[in-house]
Chain A
Amino acid sequence: MPVITLILLGSILLLPAAALLSLRWASRSGQLGRFDRAALLPFDEEEPVGRATDQILGDNRR
């Protein structure tokens, strides 16, 4: 069997298997906990949620 066929067949089996295994590993070691807190990452104490930025056109510019 040509080498390239082996690579192809191997990767068809290995890629999804590796994907599933790494997902299981990440989930078991708690890496996916409190996942959606990341939505707050663009904000910090300097520019918290609720503060608009870049309001420079129109009435706001004096």
Chain B
Amino acid sequence: MSYGPLLFLGILFTLASSWVGLVLMPQRQLGALGQHTDTNTAAIYPQARGGEAQQGAEHYRALGCVYCHTQQVRPEGYGADIARGWGRRRTVSRDYIHDKPVMLGTMRTGPDLTNIGERQSDYSWHYKHLYNPQITSAGSVMPPYPFLFETRPIGPTGPSTNALALEGAFAPAAGHEVVPTLRARQLVEYLRSLKSSGDLPEAPLKKEEAQ
């Protein structure tokens, strides 16, 4: 005998169950999560990104940085994320409310970048690292991004102020300089904006750190 309709219903019901449970329920619980205002300091967290940094996020997405770098700090005692200095506290849902898309990542070929803006705020370090990671981190497997930079002859007024200070094997040909393009500048603004360190009730900083 045929039980086609029964099969059909079973197929629909089973997927409907997790569609309700893992799609609608998270949307109900977290879909309207907003910023938190600290009752003492009136500080609002998290803040939306500035325009330049937001443009940089688009380059981060397009170049596929997420495939080697996570943006999530696991809780203390679970893995060594906090011990490695990748964050002062675990990250929680509220940290990500402005992200489109959310780029949590699933692979750590390179280190976590949740708080790279706190850990490394030096512009020239970021530029050199993007131009060729071997300059700052010899032995890294991160690809160089020469196409985010322009190699051009030094003008009559001398080297540009934003030219990279490159030495040895990494230096451009004599009479030339390497300057970051707009995309490189935006990408570095994005990286410098990565900070998930607000003091939240659901993820408090340790007292001495929170001040």
A-side residues, CB < 8 A to B, are: 2, 4-5, 7-8, 11-12, 15, 18-19, 22-23, 25-26, 30-34
By DSSP majority rule, is chain B's interface helix, strand, loop, or mixed?
A: helix
B1 to A33, Cβ gap below 8 A? yes
B20 to A34, Cβ gap below 8 A? no
Chain A residues in 8 Å Cβ range of B28? 2, 4-5, 8
Q: Which of the 9-residue segments B5-13, B44-52, B83-91 touches chain A?
A: B5-13
B6 to A4, Cβ gap below 8 A? no
Contact of A15 among B2, B6, B13, B24 (CB under 8 A): B13
Which chain B residues in 1-58 approach chain A with CB under 8 Å?
Answer: 1-3, 5-6, 9-10, 13, 16-17, 20, 24-25, 27-28
How far is A51 from B186 in the complex, measured between Cα atoms in Å? Answer: 67
B24 to A26, Cβ gap below 8 A? no
Contact of B3 among A12, A15, A32 (CB under 8 A): A32
Chain B residues in 8 Å Cβ range of A34? 1
